[in-house]
Amino acid sequence: MNKPLRKLVLLPAVLALVLPLAACGGDDDGEAGNGGTTTLTVYAAASLTSTFEQIGDEFEKAHDGVEVEFSFGGSSDLVTQIQEGAEADVFASADTANMDKLVDADLAGEDPRDFATNTLEIATPPDNPAEVASFQDLASKGLQLVVCAPEVPCGAATQTMADNLGVTLKPVSEEQSVTDVLAKVTSGEADAGVVYRTDVTAAGDAVHGVTFPESGDVVNTYPIAPVDGSDESDLAAQFVEFVLGDTGQQILQDAGFGQP
């Protein structure tokens, strides 16, 4: 009769030892999550994908315990997400118009600063089956053309270029980002797509780039700013400075971006 009683007496003693250990384990995990790594969230235009990933890697090397997370997309979509409450620390746009939306909504933590420029280039499949040689060729009958939607910076630039040259474009698709346009070209769904020259450079042998002399007449300027209300405002400001510094600017120039 004593044995069952002894077991019941020992159980609380065992729990008394185990529960503090479990609690300690929980505290350790919490400290690692809260103090071990600081996450900086950057919303950036799709055309910045490869360059900002490189810049993010270099920023992490220079800032121990910091992890940079990116959300890439069309600048118009990104600024809308921020306006609707998305928790971004930094916003980098492919044009001034969408950055102005952030400023007008009182969501820019500091005055935006220009950090790069970009111009348009035509991307075709590697063998350029439609023999596109100029911007005017994009109006050729039967050409499967893909462009960015007009509310997206690359789309607005494309429309401005078409207006300047008196060319009427009839795209089969309007995409929300340059990466989507490029994907249509590389998959063979399009004969040509209008993107940025940096996108053609980044795509390498996957596409054929067609330059045109008028491209310099329409230049997109890229601004960057911390987002107001960020929990990491100091770190966000440091990231902006890093993009504008020697390392960031060299990475951007190597990718084909122009200086602001």
pLDDT tens per residue across span 204-257? 999 999 999 999 999 999 999 999 999 999 999 999 999 999 999 999 999 999
42 compared with 30, residue with greater pLDDT: 42
| Cβ count near 49 (within 10 Å) | 19
Are residues 122 and 112 part of one domain? Answer: no
Task: Tell me whether residue 23 is in a domain.
Answer: no
Q: What's residue 6's pLDDT?
A: 37
Task: Tell me whether residue 169 is in a domain.
Answer: yes
Q: What's residue 35's pLDDT?
A: 59
Are residues 73 and 83 part of one domain? Answer: yes
Q: What is the mean pLDDT of residues 34-59?
A: 94
Could you list the residues known to form a binding site for molybdate, using ranges. Answer: 47, 75, 178, 196
Number of domains in the chain: 2
Are residues 147 and 112 part of one domain? Answer: no
**Secondary structure (3-state) at 100:** helix
Are residues 76 and 57 part of one domain? Answer: yes
CATH number at residue 189: 3.40.190.10
Handedness of CA 43, 173, 207, 197 (dihedral sign): negative
Are residues 65 and 142 part of one domain? Answer: no
Are residues 240 and 202 part of one domain? Answer: no
pLDDT tens per residue, range 141-160: 999 999 999 999 999 999 99
Q: What is the mean pLDDT of residues 26-34?
A: 38
Are residues 103 and 175 part of one domain? Answer: no
Task: Tell me whether residue 170 is in a domain.
Answer: yes
- The answer on pLDDT for 19 being more than 60 is no
Q: What's residue 36's pLDDT?
A: 82
What is the token pair recorded at 243?
């993009």
- Taking the C-alpha atoms of residue 162 and residue 153, their distance in angstroms, rounded to an integer, is 14
Give which of 160, 179, 181 is closest to 171, Cα–Cα.
181
Could you list the residues known to form a binding site, using ranges. Answer: 47, 75, 178, 196
Are residues 211 and 122 part of one domain? Answer: yes
Are residues 122 and 110 part of one domain? Answer: no
Task: Tell me whether residue 51 is in a domain.
Answer: yes
Which residue has 């492919």 as its token pair?
Answer: 94
Task: Tell me whether residue 17 is in a domain.
Answer: no
120 compared with 25, residue with greater pLDDT: 120
| Cβ count near 125 (within 10 Å) | 19
pLDDT band at 34 (very low <50, low <70, confident <90, very high): low
Longest dimension (CA), the chain: 101
Percent of the chain with pLDDT over 90: 86
Are residues 155 and 86 part of one domain? Answer: no
Can you name the residues that pair with 42 across neighbouring β-strands?
Answer: 70, 90
Q: Which domain holds residue 208?
A: 118-217
Helices (H) and strands (E) in the chain — how many of each? 9, 9
Task: Tell me whether residue 5 is in a domain.
Answer: no
Amino acid at 176: Q
